[in-house]
Amino acid sequence: MRSKVLMDGGDVCTQSQFIWPIQFVWVWYSRVIKGDPSTPQLSTQGFGQSLEHGNKSQDSGIAEMEELPVPHNIKISNITCDSFKISWDMDSKSKDRITHYFIDLNKKENKNSNKFKHKDVPTKLVAKAVPLPMTVRGHWFLSPRTEYTVAVQTASKQVDGDYVVSEWSEIIEFCTADYSKVHLTQLLEKAEVIAGRMLKLSVFYRNQHKEYFDYIREHHGNAMQPSVKDNSGSHGSPISGKLEGIFFSCNTEFNTGKPPQDSPYGRYRYEIAAEKLFNPNTNLYFGDFYCMYTAYHYVILVIAPVGSPGDEFCKQRLPQLNIKDNKFLTCDEEDGVMVYHHAQDVILEVIYTDPVDLSLGTVAEITGHQLMSLSTANAKKDPSCKTCNISVGR
């Protein structure tokens, strides 16, 4: 089949960004955007299938020619948060005529969405034919921890600029990965820039409703149990939906040196001496850095007893911090006494990975207000903030 491909932009990647010398360009099917009646509408079965139907439509640019080999047995490997390798098998017939590969990529979650929204327009990547597998990398169209569908066709560029193309391959599904330690280290370095000076603290605290603490006493033998972290923060964070822990706060008011009286999480507060949770027998990890479309920035830290399951989980996935020397939360011994400090200019969210017995601290009602608007439960990160985003998928 012969079909003219519209290339509305120039190259968007340099060759140095790829393992193989691939040049990708955005290709938008403008007739779909404009609603050209000669082009079938996007189906609910995925963009790959709809484009295949489009190639079989009454497009005046199609002419009967010797068919190019159709990719099959597609394999996706080496998946990261913003890249993957792709390879496939194909018959040797007419293989030497192939000059390009067309790769159609679509977020699986968007395949039934409004086709006129910009984000739902199928993305076609055009790659020069190179040895397989080849690497597809690009944070502008790949997001971490996201399901995608992909289909491939082979193409032969003609002297007039048109392309002879094969049939589309089968549609393959895959999911991108979480942020790696390298990506988290980049977030860590950005968070360090705005952390500010260190203030003293003496307790960790956790606000909940009275019913929560009653339930812990009655059903869990007085011990607060770790639960799976929600999906707040960076979409690529490896701890969201996976790490089990108990949420604590530690920020203090500048003028009093004590925890604030207001809280978004409940009118009853459990306070525990800092040394009970954070000491030389624990490890400290950086988990995330984010904001919620406000001026406030949040840093998630994880405290895990050495050798615990939580410690092993974090050791594989998160940057470890020196408990005596970091920009966010420290503990050190001075004159035989443990002294604790926290960063002033970020809000720290501390996750402790082991159960905590209520008898180690105290529960009391706060005198301030329950400010629900400040809750970060399942909060979505602002992807446009230059302070807390890095150049990978959000």
Comparing 34-43, 52-61, 205-214, 367-376, the range with the smallest average pLDDT is 34-43
DSSP letter string over 298-363? EEEEEEEETTSHHHHHHHHHS-EE-TTS-SSEEEEEETTEEEEEEESSSEEEEEE-S-EEGGGEEE
User: Are 188 and 255 found together in one domain?
Assistant: yes
Helix (H) or strand (E) segment spanning residue 282: strand 282-291
Residue 141 included in any domain: yes
> What is the model's pLDDT at position 381?
86
The pLDDT mean for the chain works out to 81
User: Are 236 and 115 found together in one domain?
Assistant: no
> What is the model's pLDDT at position 108?
85
Mean local confidence (pLDDT), 322-350: 95
Q: Is the pLDDT of residue 176 over 80?
A: yes
> What is the model's pLDDT at position 319?
98
Comparing 159-163, 171-175, 272-276, the range with the smallest average pLDDT is 159-163
CA of 290: how far to CAs of 56, 210, 239, 347, in Å? 46, 29, 14, 10
User: Are 328 and 226 found together in one domain?
Assistant: yes
Residues in the chain: 394
Q: Taking the chain, what is the end-to-end CA distance rounded to the nearest angstrom?
A: 38
User: Are 213 and 271 found together in one domain?
Assistant: yes
User: Are 169 and 212 found together in one domain?
Assistant: no
Burial-class residue 22 by CB neighbours within 10 Å (0-12, 13-18, 19+). buried
Mean local confidence (pLDDT), 263-276: 92
Q: Is the pLDDT of residue 256 over 90?
A: no
User: Are 197 and 336 found together in one domain?
Assistant: yes
Residue 146 included in any domain: yes
Single residue among 176, 208, 232 that ends a domain in this structure: 176
Mean local confidence (pLDDT), 327-351: 95
Encoded amino acid at 314, one letter: C
Q: Is the pLDDT of residue 244 over 60?
A: yes
Predicted confidence band at 45 (pLDDT cuts at 50, 70, 90)? very low
Single residue among 176, 211, 230 that ends a domain in this structure: 176
User: Are 153 and 223 found together in one domain?
Assistant: no
Helix (H) or strand (E) segment spanning residue 267: none
The domain of 87 spans 72-176
CA 121 to chain centroid, in Å, comes to 21
Residue 273 included in any domain: yes
Q: What angle do CA 86, 91, 92 make, to 5 degrees?
A: 110
> What is the model's pLDDT at position 337?
92
User: Are 219 and 274 found together in one domain?
Assistant: yes
Q: Would you state the torsion angle of the CA atoms of residues 72, 77, 80, 83, taken in this order, to the nearest 10 degrees?
A: -40
User: Are 155 and 285 found together in one domain?
Assistant: no
User: Are 192 and 322 found together in one domain?
Assistant: yes
> What is the model's pLDDT at position 213?
97
* Per-residue pLDDT tens digits for 83-142: 999 999 998 877 889 999 999 999 886 544 444 334 444 567 888 999 999 999 886 678
Single residue among 155, 176, 197 that ends a domain in this structure: 176
Residue 64 included in any domain: no
Mean local confidence (pLDDT), 6-29: 34
Helices in 195-299 by DSSP H: which ranges?
Answer: 210-219, 274-277
> What is the model's pLDDT at position 377?
67
Q: Is the pLDDT of residue 370 over 90?
A: no
User: Are 213 and 342 found together in one domain?
Assistant: yes
> What is the model's pLDDT at position 118?
40
User: Are 89 and 205 found together in one domain?
Assistant: no
CATH number for 90:
2.60.40.10
Helix (H) or strand (E) segment spanning residue 289: strand 282-291
Residue 337 included in any domain: yes
CA 16/CA 319 separation, integer angstroms: 27
Residue 58 included in any domain: no
Comparing 40-49, 164-173, 382-391, the range with the smallest average pLDDT is 40-49
Of residues 229 and 393, more confidently modeled? 229
Nearest to 67 by CA among 53, 54, 76, 56: 56
Residue 97 included in any domain: yes
Residue 365 CB neighbour total at 10 angstroms: 9
Residue 394 CB neighbour total at 10 angstroms: 19
Of residues 54 and 206, more confidently modeled? 206
Of residues 27 and 287, more confidently modeled? 287
> What is the model's pLDDT at position 149?
93
Domain total of the chain: 2
Residue 279 included in any domain: yes
Q: Is the pLDDT of residue 35 over 80?
A: no
